[in-house]
Structures are given as C-alpha cells and as structure tokens.
Amino acid sequence: MMKSMARRAFLTGIGATIGGLALSRADVASGDASQTVELPFANGGRSLAAYPQKRPLIVLTSRPVQLETPFEIFNDGLLTPNDAFFVRWHLAGVPTSVDPTKYALTVRGLVDKPATISLADLKADFEPSEITAVCECAGNSRGFFQPRVAGGQWANGAMGNARWRGVRLNDVLARVGVAATAKTVRFSGMDGPVLPATPKFRKSLDLDVADGQDVLLAYEMNGEPLPLLNGYPVRLVVPGWFATYWVKMLNDIEVRDTPDDNFWMTTAYRVPAAPCGCQDPGTKVPTVPISRLAVRSFITNLAPGSSVDRQGKVAVQGIAFDSGSGIAKVMFSSDRGASWSPATLGADEGRYGFRQWSASFATEPGKQYGLQCAATSVDGSTQLAAPTWNASGYMRNVIETVDVEAAS
C-alpha cells in the first residue's frame, strides 16, 4: 500500500524522449516511457524508459546505456528482478545481440594449455556453482556528493542483488594450468569503443583474488540467462568487490605477470590510498585501485518526503550489505541519530547478499521524523555518521536519512 503510493507520488507523467539508443529503436519494448522522476539532488530530473528485457528504468545516459533501478523496487524482495537490475556500460560499442552458439571464451597468457571454451562446453565441462551477491557500482550514490563530482549522477539505485549461477573461475584456471610466474588475471568483454583512441574496457584482479572460491563466470542470474544489457551470455561475478570488476559479455581471460597498465586500472576506478578512501576537496593524493564494497544500509519502504500514520506505530523495512563478512547488526533511529535501537534482522540468505531488517517507531500528529539506519558488518566495519569525499565520487557509505512527516 505504502509502497505503491510512494511510487505514484514519485513519478510524474511528463513526456520523455529516448534519443540515440545504442540498441535499435525497433528493439525497444513498448513499456511506459512517458514517466519522469526527480532524484533528490540538483539536476536530478530523469526519464524512465523500457529497454530490451527491462521494465521502465531511470535513464542516466542512452549512449552508452546506463539505467538506474527505481529505489522502491528494493522493497519488493531481496533479489533484484533481472528486468529491474541497473545497467552500466562505459563504451557505446555494445553488441545488440549475441549468438550463444558462436560465443567463445579465450583463456590465454601464462597458462600451460590455452583454451577457447564455448558456452555449451562451459556448462557441460565444469561443475555449476551458485552464489547470491550484491553488484554495486563504485559510483552508486555519486549524485549526493558535496561538493559535486564529475561522473554519472546516480542516486542509490546503481546496485542490485541477484543469485548468480555459473562455473568457478578457479576451476577454469585449474583446467588451463596457471604458470608459477603468474601474478594477475585480466578480463575483457565483447564491447568496445566507438573511436579507436578510446581504451577498451579491461579489468585485472590479483591472481589470489581471481583464484578464490567465490569468483564465478556466471551465465545465469536469478534462474534465467543474463539479460543482454547485464552481460549475456557470460559475466564475471566477484562477490564483495565493486561492480567495475564484474566484466560483462566476458570473452577474454589473460593470465599475466605484470601489473596492468591500462587506463581502467591506472587512471579510472581508483580511490585515495588512505584507509578511509577519502581526501579533502581540492587536494591531490596517492590512489589505489578500488576493491571491496563498503558496508551500507537503506530504508526501502518509505521514500523521503512520505507522510506516515498520524498516530501509531509505523513499520520500517530495509536492506543492509557489506563486502561479504556478513551483517552483524543494524541500528535504527527515528530522530536523526539522537537515539538508536536495534532493528530485527531477516533470514541470512548469504553473506554477500542483501540482508533484510525491520524496525518500527511511534508517531504523533504533525511531527517530523529523520529516519536513519546504520549497519555493522561481522568484520566490525561501520557506516559513517558524516559523509567523506573523494574526487571520483566512489564508495559512499554514510548513514542515510529519510525524512517523513506524520499527518496532523
């Protein structure tokens, strides 16, 4: 009830245009493309559009396609539906279709037996493995950074939680035989730049990370093949690590012994080396490649600005996640953090996934409430009371506030 009302209040019926689609216009589903949303920061006006295999999502850019999940969807269930899962591509040369019978994954470099593996062989020759994990863009929530920073101005919907099924990368690496001198593994996909001067999107992981139990070459998401825009037919899944490493339409794995000197490792996706990952605005600081997710939590059933029961007990529900140690506790406050009480945690559905929590607070007519939640992970990391800053707008994990008002 609350949810659909909040959603309606959130969407306004103004015409939206879909220009410059990377996918052909004929492919665009006939979803409701006549809606807009106002994200809660300056220049937050966005259109919604339905791309192939997607319900109407918030359009950040259309070439390349970047789509944000409307936040209320996170209240519908712990797994983010495939058709609502956010989309982020860096380069506009994304294949508009992939023939699964022609797909081939090359595994090469410092290996004993380089291999080219078809989709059918990947499924037939290796034991399947499943994991539920949050895929979060490093720049999720960038639009809230103060001072503002350049880059995609996402609200909180550049993340999603899915059940990923595929094969373990370490099984594939064992099959090809990694050389003793190997140090890193580099991944790239079928997308490419429109202009040859733009560097192709490639990401590298240290061998000890790539060879871990949980890293998957996933061909299914929530029991279905991956949507094209989420990396069909195969993507890398690196549970606990930011989504930049989750290379989509993966078709090349190269085992190497030298640090990766490509743009996407040496220039992009870096954070201040200090443990906080933060810096003062206007300063230049040493940086390291971004790696693991920061602990975060959100209220999902009440949108900012909602009005709640004038007198009574209002139920609050939300999600929390971290980089995979698991959620130890979530605290809830209805008075902007002046006082806190423990929220009730939902079932543990996997340490890399969203964990549900619930709480309630009492209302009085006409009063305003600053709702906050703060998660602590099993490894002891916490959310920040005040936001920190970095030049790329990455890794936000401040305690968020949802302001609501009881009717008078």
Ligand X SMILES: Nc1nc2c(c(=O)[nH]1)N[C@H]1C(S)=C(S)[C@@H](COP(=O)(O)O)O[C@H]1N2
Residues that bind ligand X (CB under 6 A): 85-90, 135, 137, 189, 191, 201, 230-231, 243-244, 246-249
Strand arrangement, sheet containing 104-109: 115-118, 104-109, 250-256, 184-189, 202-206
CB 132 within 8 A of CB 352: yes
In angstroms, what is the C-alpha Rg of the chain?
A: 21
Closer to Mo ion at the Cβ: 71 or 154? 154
Closer to ligand X at the Cβ: 51 or 369? 51
How far apart are the C-alpha atoms of 224 and 5, rounded to whole Å?
30
CB 235, min distance to ligand X, A: 7
Indicate the residue whose CB is closest to ligand X: 189
CB 137, min distance to Mo ion, A: 3
Q: Which of Mo ion, ligand X, none does residue 103 bind to, with CB < 5 to 8 Å depending on kind?
A: none
In terms of Cα–Cα distance, which of 145, 153, 150, 157 is closest to 68?
Answer: 157
**Six-digit token string for 384:** 């920040």
Closer to Mo ion at the Cβ: 137 or 221? 137
Closer to Mo ion at the Cβ: 218 or 359? 218
CB 68, min distance to Mo ion, A: 12
Q: Which of ligand X, Mo ion, none does residue 239 bind to, with CB < 5 to 8 Å depending on kind?
A: none
Closer to ligand X at the Cβ: 110 or 250? 250
E-state strands within 50-127: 57-62, 65-68, 87-88, 104-109, 115-118
Closer to Mo ion at the Cβ: 89 or 389? 89
By the rule CB under 5 A, 238 interacts with Mo ion: no
Q: Which of ligand X, Mo ion, none does residue 322 bind to, with CB < 5 to 8 Å depending on kind?
A: none
Q: Please identify which residue in the block is written with the tokens 């005040």.
A: 386
Q: Which of ligand X, Mo ion, none does residue 90 bind to, with CB < 5 to 8 Å depending on kind?
A: ligand X
CA dist 401 → 39, 120, 299, 362 (Å) = 15, 48, 9, 17
Amino acid symbol at 172: V
CB 83, min distance to ligand X, A: 12
In terms of Cα–Cα distance, which of 265, 211, 199 is closest to 238?
Answer: 211
**DSSP notation for 162-218:** EEEEEEEHHHHHHHH-B-TT--EEEEEES-B-SSTTSPP-EEEEEHHHHTSTT-EEE
Q: Which of ligand X, Mo ion, none does residue 89 bind to, with CB < 5 to 8 Å depending on kind?
A: ligand X
CB 339, min distance to ligand X, A: 36
Closer to ligand X at the Cβ: 247 or 330? 247
Closer to ligand X at the Cβ: 68 or 214? 68
How far apart are the C-alpha atoms of 185 and 259, rounded to whole Å?
9
CB 258, min distance to ligand X, A: 22
CB 57, min distance to ligand X, A: 10
Element (H, E) at 401: strand 401-406
| One character per residue 58-97, x = contact with Mo ion (rule: CB under 5 A) | ------------------------------x---------
In terms of Cα–Cα distance, which of 1, 57, 9 is closest to 303?
Answer: 9
**Six-digit token string for 361:** 């607070």
CB 159, min distance to ligand X, A: 8
Amino acid symbol at 269: Y
Indicate the residue whose CB is closest to Mo ion: 137
In terms of Cα–Cα distance, which of 227, 239, 268, 7 is closest to 131?
Answer: 239
Longest CA–CA separation in the chain, Å:
73
Closer to Mo ion at the Cβ: 207 or 268? 268
Chain centroid, CA 312 distance in Å: 36
Q: Which of ligand X, Mo ion, none does residue 247 bind to, with CB < 5 to 8 Å depending on kind?
A: ligand X
**Six-digit token string for 383:** 């959310």
Closer to ligand X at the Cβ: 92 or 303? 92
CB 260, min distance to ligand X, A: 15
Kindly determine how many residues on this chain lie close enough to bind Mo ion according to the rule CB under 5 A.
4
Please list every residue from 118 through 137 that binds Mo ion, using CB under 5 A.
137
CB 247, min distance to ligand X, A: 4
CA dist 167 → 56, 189, 213, 236 (Å) = 31, 17, 10, 10
Q: Which of ligand X, Mo ion, none does residue 249 bind to, with CB < 5 to 8 Å depending on kind?
A: ligand X
Residues that bind Mo ion (CB under 5 A): 88, 137, 243-244
